[in-house]
Amino acid sequence: MNIAEQLPQPLRNFVIDVPANQYYDFELSPGSTYPLKGVTYPVDYGNIPGYTAEDTHELDFFVGKAVDGEAGSLVVDRGSSIGHERKFYIGLTKEELALVLKELEPVLVDHQELPDVDAVLAAIEPYKDKE
């Protein structure tokens, strides 16, 4: 069962784009100098509809297996055309968090831990789409 189903709204609306342990190819153009050609996400990776990130797409989330697991945000460098983008995570075991950080290490700019779900909800509020 997806732990997002046990979280409060809007986190319960989590949409999986890339299931855990699946490789995602960034399909970079030839000659790109971006340091990651793709990643294998160790946990479910997707988005929260109704929230928009700096790249103008839905706000990205990593969702792990532990309801009371680690929560926080990461800032990654998306390259010169996009710049930095914040992504959030919730429900990660310590091991899952370590794997996510390792996978994104070449582009990781910042990492902030948050104490609980309420802090995540407060942190994503500025990303909520204007109605």
pLDDT in tens, 20-42: 999 999 888 888 888 899 999 99
Phi (first) and psi of residue 57, to 5 degrees: -105, 175
Phi, psi of 14 (to 5 degrees): -50, 130
Q: Locate the domains of the chain by residue range.
A: 3-127
Q: If you average pLDDT over residues 122-129, what whole number do you get? A: 97
The tokens for 84 are 């930095």
pLDDT digits (tens, 9 = 90+) for 45-70: 999 999 999 989 999 999 999 988 99
- pLDDT at residue 43 is higher than 60: yes
d(CA 79, CA 87): 15
Bridge partners for 18 per DSSP: 45
| Pair of tokens at residue 100 | 């996510």
Sorting pLDDT into bands at 50, 70 and 90, what band is 5? Answer: confident
| 70 neighbors 61 (Cβ within 8 angstroms) | no
Average pLDDT over every residue of 99-127: 96
